[in-house]
Amino acid sequence: MKWKTKITKVEPNHLITRGYRQEDLIGNIPFSHVVYLLLKGELPTKEHGKMMDAILTACIDHGVTPPSSMASRIVASGEVPLPTAVAAGILSIGDSHGGAIEKGAKFSQDGIKRMKDENMNIQKTAETLVSESREKKKRVLGFGHRVHTSDPRTKKLFKLSDELNISGDHIDLSKNIEKELETKIGKKLPINVDGAIAAIISDMNFDWRLGKAFFLLGRVAGLTAHVYEEQTTEKPMRKMATVSCSYTGPAERDLPQRYQHKDNMEE
Amino acid sequence: MKWKTKITKVEPNHLITRGYRQEDLIGNIPFSHVVYLLLKGELPTKEHGKMMDAILTACIDHGVTPPSSMASRIVASGEVPLPTAVAAGILSIGDSHGGAIEKGAKFSQDGIKRMKDENMNIQKTAETLVSESREKKKRVLGFGHRVHTSDPRTKKLFKLSDELNISGDHIDLSKNIEKELETKIGKKLPINVDGAIAAIISDMNFDWRLGKAFFLLGRVAGLTAHVYEEQTTEKPMRKMATVSCSYTGPAERDLPQRYQHKDNMEE
Amino acid sequence: MKWKTKITKVEPNHLITRGYRQEDLIGNIPFSHVVYLLLKGELPTKEHGKMMDAILTACIDHGVTPPSSMASRIVASGEVPLPTAVAAGILSIGDSHGGAIEKGAKFSQDGIKRMKDENMNIQKTAETLVSESREKKKRVLGFGHRVHTSDPRTKKLFKLSDELNISGDHIDLSKNIEKELETKIGKKLPINVDGAIAAIISDMNFDWRLGKAFFLLGRVAGLTAHVYEEQTTEKPMRKMATVSCSYTGPAERDLPQRYQHKDNMEE
Amino acid sequence: MKWKTKITKVEPNHLITRGYRQEDLIGNIPFSHVVYLLLKGELPTKEHGKMMDAILTACIDHGVTPPSSMASRIVASGEVPLPTAVAAGILSIGDSHGGAIEKGAKFSQDGIKRMKDENMNIQKTAETLVSESREKKKRVLGFGHRVHTSDPRTKKLFKLSDELNISGDHIDLSKNIEKELETKIGKKLPINVDGAIAAIISDMNFDWRLGKAFFLLGRVAGLTAHVYEEQTTEKPMRKMATVSCSYTGPAERDLPQRYQHKDNMEE
């Protein structure tokens, strides 16, 4: 069985990751830049390095209510090892939790490609994409938030991407889509943190298929803190949530006739 | 790399599990007996087969509130594949959720072994175990339940184990411990469903290390139903639980001086 | 927070699942029929009950090589609790492992619906579907197997579905597709076990979105046996697989100049 | 249901983590220092910040063979979402994979506490601990490695902990244990990377219960790269490992008599 990998070469007393000796990376390259190296294959420029670091920090935590933190804390309460509970939270990262980064980045990258192919300008592209989405009754992902109307993380990320000269067509497109949505819907649906990250990683030339990875790599820090807090300050199997549940299934009933008169489980 | 396995032999058009051709098992041996075969290595007697089936059914579901169903439904709400969400629920099966079967079976099996080694009777063994646990301030697992005072599953399982002549020393010991606990604590702590299963599988001569497996193999059916219900009747990312959370960390503060005046993230 | 569930009603000393008291189900209804009840909402007819049981048994195990057993055994070797390792195997059940049941069932159910809408016969439907798939260069899922040319599980399942009068349009369609594929490709691509289950559950009127659930609910028994075998007969962290891996990344190199001369990780 | 958390306060347009506004953390505090903040509750000193960063980088990847990378890549090959496959790798972080950090840190912290309680010096403590472990036939964890005799990561981490004035009693104890083991066993068992991290985080005053967290938080970056590489460069369900498996279960046999003559699965 012959595998190929571009990630790490392992020999006795010799570990090479993406070409670099691990002992050179350790203590010389900030961890967030090493993460970039792992995902992209090359170390970041100074600007990309700072942006990468900022994106990871923007994803660290959103309190106890998102599916990932809830899942991690609930699983921790069953009394399992820390990594098992952290992994449970990661499992919830799906198309609706963190998934807008992936889908948003794809939408944006496809949009910019099409803009170039069809020789449109950004504004026209935004109009076209919004109107097509509305026709198909599909939400444009990455706009609006259930808690925040002006998310401080989004503002900070865009401020940085401007300062670092990273902002390009994809961020521009997002801002035009935001305006277009406001015009068409008559209501402000501000770019949310997922949408901002989707646009920024697209301007950093990342594959949209890595969309969920950024969220995961930042959020895993918060999940670890939640599991540790649950394990060290709460009792296992504590009552965690008030869920008033109404049973809407069939009313109480006897077993069907056919199961009642025989030795039903004859081998 | 040479592995050994006693479970299944795979050859083209020929699948042998624990010695039996899979096409012979399919449709001839009830699935619950096949599960027994997988765990024990041999098909069950008629009595063990019925008991096995009853144990699995006794574990199927306990509504939406246990950690496993909550975790599965919450993870499902992130919009992930069905198996991912089912697995998240299984991750919560730990020392405090389903774990009393494993620990209870170990406690019971160690107890009966000791009874024989030290030539005690059951009643004396129960007294000794309870008094030692109380000295070490350790709970005897498998007694008492947060919802049920007289669990219908427990009664049915014990009724069956009597009818099927499975009840032996381990069940006897559990009943004696229940009495002893009532005498010592002055309050009835009835054997719960985990405790009943722990005693029964011990009388069926199962290794206590399989304790969580019985719970898992029954509960996975309920978890699958919950995930499917969540995916087909609810919206992703719905607000699932009322958790009023108070933040008890440090008050809002500025970054420390040392982070404020430099270009902090120089490569 | 108001949840609705049709699965189980939990009250003190009273557990109702799909309308039935759990103490009535335990010991009276075979576990596989209870699984059917959980997924479908109603107990099976005698014929459906037998078929359901056979399907679960047909999924139990395929030795150590499928992704699910490998993942479970490898994770077990890290020394984690049994449920954690079983869950790891379940995570691998995806579009390519067990997924042909889901996709195959959707393909079949869409096909039969279209046959009725467009007033075609089965043979014409098979021709249309195969030729359209070939045009789109998409594989028709559920045909061919990497090990078996005449899978004993498939034959047994179809024999039972005939005997139990379950075989209907969906199975008929599968057999016509098999013939059509042979004609068009000039090579026999026999219906595999996933394809057989996809067709049978469609004739049993199950939602295709439950496709992976059948595989999961049977396979979890085998995974549990594998984890238990690994934990009780092998050492943790044993060398498990011969993977000869060639590193194809960048050649060994020094850190870029810009990282070499400063205190790189200034706060 | 009232939860308490010291981690993050969530209000509309206002996110406070451990007291700091997230928009202040983003872009100003290196991500690895933010991880420290999440785990410890306070931002690191300059020295702790650098050490934390170095530890995370020291854990990033060890090629395709460790259980975590194998599990992630195998699960990825079933065609599941990236986070599901990354989580599968995390599940394998257990008592034998990454676990030596947790156990080693506990051993070290207990050792230093006892040294102070019993008024011993470091050398005497090392002798006592090694001789007691040998009596109980327990391995002292964190020494020796299956691939490396002189692990470049370990050397670099200790060099940094010296330069940063972090090295204290726990590291000193590890070095004394290494010498003591060599004397007693007559063979060099060098401190491995897990053992080094265990000693360093103990000198940084981290709770040993966070031992696996450091490994997890670094390794998750490598796992993400492996899953992405598998998903983008390999076909699903490729043959991944050569496992020559010998079946050692019962020889092929017929079903027992009692299953052969009846309608075995009567409802």
Neighbours of D30 (CB within 10 A): 30
Query: pLDDT by residue (tens digit) across D44-102?
Result: 999 999 999 999 999 999 999 899 999 999 999 999 999 999 999 999 999 999 999 99
Q: Is B29 in Cβ contact with D244 (below 8 Å)? A: no
Q: What is the pLDDT along chain A (267 residues), one digit of tens a residue?
A: 688 999 999 999 999 999 999 999 999 999 999 999 999 999 999 999 999 999 999 999 999 989 999 999 999 999 999 999 999 999 999 999 999 999 999 999 999 999 999 999 999 999 999 999 999 999 888 998 878 888 999 999 999 999 999 999 999 999 999 999 999 988 889 999 999 999 999 999 999 999 999 999 999 999 999 999 999 999 998 888 777 889 999 999 999 988 865 555 544
Region for residue D117 given its phi and psi (left: phi exceeds 0; alpha: psi -120 to 50; beta: otherwise): alpha
Show the tokens assigned to C24: 């009535």
CB D227 within 8 A of CB A219: no
Predicted TM-score of the model (pTM): 0.96
Show the tokens assigned to D193: 């990377």
Contact pairs from chain C to chain D, CB under 8 Å: 157
Give pLDDT, residue D262. Answer: 52
**Nearest chain C alpha carbon to D76:** C92
Give pLDDT, residue D198. Answer: 98
First-residue to last-residue Cα distance in chain C: 44
Averaged pLDDT for residues D172-186: 95
Our CA angle for C222, C228, C229, nearest 5°, is: 90
First-residue to last-residue Cα distance in chain D: 44
Q: Is D95 in Cβ contact with C80 (below 8 Å)? A: yes
Q: Which of D33, D88, D267 sits opposite C91 (nearest CB)?
A: D88
Averaged pLDDT for residues C91-97: 95
Q: Is B70 in Cβ contact with A96 (below 8 Å)? A: no
Give pLDDT, residue B267. Answer: 42
List chains touching A (3+ CB pairs under 8 A).
B, C, D
Give pLDDT, residue C266. Answer: 47
Half-sphere exposure of D132 (CA within 13 A, CB side): 9
Mutate to test the interface with B, among D48, D245, D253 (most CBs of B within 10 A): D245
Give pLDDT, residue D149. Answer: 86
| Poorest-pLDDT segment among D28-32, D191-195, D234-238 | D234-238
Across-strand partners of B129? Answer: none
Q: How many residues does chain A have?
A: 267
* Min distance C124 CA to chain B CA atoms (Å): 31
Residues D128, D115: Cα–Cα separation, whole Å: 10
Give pLDDT, residue A145. Answer: 81
pLDDT interval class at D243 (50, 70, 90): confident
Give pLDDT, residue C37. Answer: 98
Supply the mean pLDDT for chain D.
94
CB C254 within 8 A of CB A19: no
Query: pLDDT by residue (tens digit) across B88-141?
Result: 999 999 999 999 999 999 999 999 999 999 999 999 999 999 999 999 999 888
Residues C178, C126: Cα–Cα separation, whole Å: 9
pLDDT interval class at C262 (50, 70, 90): low
Q: Is A242 in Cβ contact with C4 (below 8 Å)? A: no
CB B152 within 8 A of CB C13: yes
H or E element that contains A15 = strand A14-17
Residues A190, D12: Cα–Cα separation, whole Å: 14
Averaged pLDDT for residues C3-13: 94
Instruction: Tell me which residue has tokens 């997988």.
Output: B38
Contact pairs from chain A to chain B, CB under 8 Å: 155
Q: Is A22 in Cβ contact with D57 (below 8 Å)? A: yes
Give pLDDT, residue A87. Answer: 98
Ramachandran angles phi, psi of C226, nearest 5°: -65, -45
Residues C118, C138: Cα–Cα separation, whole Å: 22
Residues D132, D137: Cα–Cα separation, whole Å: 8
Give pLDDT, residue B259. Answer: 82
Give pLDDT, residue C203. Answer: 98
Query: pLDDT by residue (tens digit) across C124-176?
Result: 999 999 999 999 999 888 998 878 888 999 999 999 999 999 999 999 999 99
3-class SS of residue D264 = coil
Residues C157, B3: Cα–Cα separation, whole Å: 31
Region for residue C20 given its phi and psi (left: phi exceeds 0; alpha: psi -120 to 50; beta: otherwise): beta
Mutate to test the interface with D, among B9, B40, B247, B262 (most CBs of D within 10 A): B247
Q: Is A84 in Cβ contact with B78 (below 8 Å)? A: no
Q: Is C90 in Cβ contact with B83 (below 8 Å)? A: yes
| C-alpha dist (Å) from residue B170 to B43, B107, B112, B206, D154 | 22, 10, 7, 12, 51
In this predicted structure, the answer to whether residue C85 has a pLDDT above a threshold of 80 is yes
Q: Which residues of B touch D245 (CB under 8 A)?
A: 2-5
Instruction: Tell me which residue has tokens 């098909």.
Output: B43
